[in-house]
Structure 1
Amino acid sequence: MEIRFDHTTLGQRVLFGAGAAAANIATALRDLGASRPLLVGGGHTAGVVDQVSEEFGVAGHIREVVQHVPAERAREAVALAQDVGADAVVAIGGGSATGLAKIVARDTGLPVVAVPTTFSGSEATDIWGMTEDERKTTGTDLRVLPRVVVYDAELTLGLPPDLAVHSGLNALAHAVDSLWAPRADPINRAMAGEGMRALVPGLRRLRADPEDVGAHEQVLYGTYLSGVALSSAGAGMHHKICHVLGGTFNLPHAPTHAVVLPYVAAYNAEADPESDARIAEALGAPHGAAGLWDLAREVGAPDSLGKIGLTEDDVDLAAELATAAIPESNPAPVSQENVAQLLRSALRGDDVRR
């Protein structure tokens, strides 16, 4: 069988170590030649923020971040970075902090040092997103790829157990969605597979003991691999649906991914049995969608879109917007009617195993 593909591996430094966040941030900034960073986030990591502030002349600090990156907040952040003469951006937080820093980087060219405190995976991608007039726009730009990622499992220990598993399932969605994304190839499939093999047992360990540092490290490792796979392959059907649900209907980011994922996996399973088998293997299940469904309930994820804010009145508009955004590369044919049916099943919490 002939193998042909065109793969790009994005250049990014990763500094990984529990309890080493402040030291690694300092190393990253010094090596970037930065001395006046703009801090974004860091609300519950005061110790790390204080240590960075002691060593560097912090140019400014945006403490409050909002999910889905509202355009007005993004423009304010860009203006602040320019006004204070920042020479780098340090994002300490989840996907919202990283997302805001990415817009600053896109519009100013400043390098980003991302310090995740959740398992969002945004730090591993060159994908940006911003919401304006109830529409979330996304794109790719190498300027937004964080130049350095600093992983410290001690920073994720403070996550509430529910948020931790929701965030981890969001990371799992990166791996799954990359399997049928527009630029899927053997290399990012391999990274997605290893990401899933790290995330699934890691999430189970995390649910059993939220203070297990080893579990946090395992999930962070899987999160990074899954994010790299998505960044290389591009966003597929799952992410396009979730972007609409978040940007237009303001559904919470990680729980939305956790709910929608099994339904998209079920939708594509017959058209892409190879990917379904990869997902099933990682989950130890007969089928990918069934395994994702069971895992979500095992770790305590929400079981329907209805429980996190979507209504029947929202479905048709959501289906229209999502259908227009879903890539043509999706293995199963996509129609507005089929996407609406998928959303109604997720709205009710229908069992995908039937």
Structure 2
Amino acid sequence: MTAFHYDALPGRVVFGAGCSTRQLEPELQALGARRVLLVVAEQERALADKLIAPLGTRVAATFTDVRQHVPQATVERVLAAARAADADAVLSIGGGSTTGTAKAVALRTSLPIVAVPTTYAGSEMTPIWGMTAGGRKTTGRDLAVLPKTVLYDPDLTLSLPSSITVSSAFNAIAHCVEALYGPGANPITSLVAVEGIRALAAGLVPVVTDLHDSAARSDLLYGAYLAGTAFAAAGSGLHHTICHVLGGAFDLPHAPTHAVVLPHVAAFNEPAVPDMRRAARALGSDSMADGLAALAAATDAPTSLRELGMPQDGVEEAVRVIMQKDLSGNPRPLTEGDVRAILGAALAGRPAAVEAYATAAPTR
């Protein structure tokens, strides 16, 4: 067995259908929360209102101005709301952008977060924060932003539209794939990541056929939980670097961008990551790139950055910014030309294939 280290992160997880209605108040009580700031996107306000009804005056204020990629202006507004309410805890109900907004408060104030995710973003399981200013997305790692408690209720995802379900699930799969080769990758993160991929794949195809398949929804949420856990310990790599640059520079939708870019980064890195073949078998394939392509075809996942709004001339700007990042930890050395090839293929929506990068830099 290869020597490794693994840092288990603190936090409590409550998983089960209906747990958000049964357990939300007791979990806040356990944290001693008396003046809660609710963070929720406007489109999920009705759902949140039902969940918080038993809390009464415990919810001191509500912030609904959630924006993807957490712009700096949003950070300032949510911090002002927390201060005005004299909040002693933050309750996040929603997807990754909502969790990210709550994390912005915790980063500056160290207030505890209780997260109730309604998508498969996985941010609720990580100590990673992200904010955008001046067209650039900055990320960091701080235990202060890791939610103290996460309530995973599959019932809350039953109304998630197909397009959001698919792209969000691919976002979760991206966390699993990066956990196979991130800077902190180890046998434990790989084990969790492979099981996460299996659960996500098992849930995604039937959900596309029946959005109200509760068993499949449970598989997806379970897989998303595992994905966030693995990613939190292993850390991010090339794929997330690319997606964060694209999101910050062009305001591309977060989860669909992951769905488009992931097969191409997987195809590039696959020859240098032995665990990727084992993980690919969870997709019923001998190749991660091929397995992802088949899953995308079966679920009508997005495949082109152009369709998401990226301009043709945006590739060069993105390459320039990406090459300014520290990519030395990638399992396979890559050049400016390699990054350009990955982005060009993703922009055009060309099929991802390991053979397309055969002439790139050799594996380490």
Q: TM-score, normalised by structure 2?
A: 0.94
SS at match of 2:131: strand
Conserved 8 A contact 1:116-1:123: yes
Partner of 1:30: 29
Q: Which amino acid aligns with 2:254?
A: H
Partner of 1:132: 133
Gaps of 5+ in 1: none
Report the Cα offset of residue 326 of structure 1: 4.8
Distance 1:108 1:53, change over 3 A: farther
Report the Cα offset of residue 286 of structure 1: 2.4
Distance 1:163 1:74, change over 3 A: same
Partner of 1:300: 300
Conserved 8 A contact 1:45-1:155: no
Alpha-carbon separation, structure 1, partners of 2:313 and 2:47: 46
Alpha-carbon separation, structure 2, partners of 1:45 and 1:62: 10
Partner of 1:283: 283
Partner of 2:147: 146
Conserved 8 A contact 2:130-2:139: yes
Partner of 1:92: 93
Is 316-325 or 84-93 further displaced after alignment? 316-325
Alpha-carbon separation, structure 2, partners of 1:47 and 1:343: 38
Conserved 8 A contact 2:65-2:74: no
Alpha-carbon separation, structure 2, partners of 1:213 and 1:326: 42
Partner of 2:259: 258
Partner of 1:321: 321
Alpha-carbon separation, structure 2, partners of 1:158 and 1:285: 30
Conserved 8 A contact 1:297-1:303: no
SS at match of 1:180: coil
Report the Cα offset of residue 56 of structure 1: 3.9
Report the Cα offset of residue 23 of structure 1: 2.4
SS at match of 2:44: coil
The superposition leaves residues 22-52 of structure 1 with CA deviations (integer Å, 9 ceiling, x where unpaired) of 3221121000010111000064352542442
Root-mean-square deviation (CA, aligned residues, Å) is 1.4
Matches within 5 A, 1:191-230: 191-230=192-231
Partner of 2:165: 164
Conserved 8 A contact 1:21-1:48: no
Partner of 2:332: 332
Partner of 2:183: 182
Q: Which amino acid aligns with 1:29?
A: L
SS at match of 1:44: helix
Aligned residues: 352
- Is 1:233 equivalent to 2:231 in the alignment? no
Gaps of 5+ in 2: 356-364
Report the Cα offset of residue 193 of structure 1: 0.8
Partner of 1:113: 114
Distance 1:317 1:47, change over 3 A: closer
- Is 1:4 equivalent to 2:3 in the alignment? yes
Q: Which amino acid aligns with 1:14?
A: V
Conserved 8 A contact 2:20-2:51: no
SS at match of 1:259: helix
Report the Cα offset of residue 248 of structure 1: 1.0
Report the Cα offset of residue 270 of structure 1: 1.5
Alpha-carbon separation, structure 1, partners of 2:82 and 2:21: 22
The superposition leaves residues 97-128 of structure 1 with CA deviations (integer Å, 9 ceiling, x where unpaired) of 00000010010110001111111111111100
Q: Which amino acid aligns with 1:59?
A: A
Conserved 8 A contact 1:22-1:48: no
Conserved 8 A contact 1:126-1:142: yes
Alpha-carbon separation, structure 2, partners of 1:297 and 1:324: 34
SS at match of 1:59: strand
Alpha-carbon separation, structure 2, partners of 1:60 and 1:48: 13
Report the Cα offset of residue 276 of structure 1: 2.5
Conserved 8 A contact 1:237-1:326: no
Q: TM-score, normalised by structure 1?
A: 0.96
Conserved 8 A contact 2:135-2:248: yes
Conserved 8 A contact 1:20-1:152: yes
Matches within 5 A, 1:9-20: 9-20=8-19
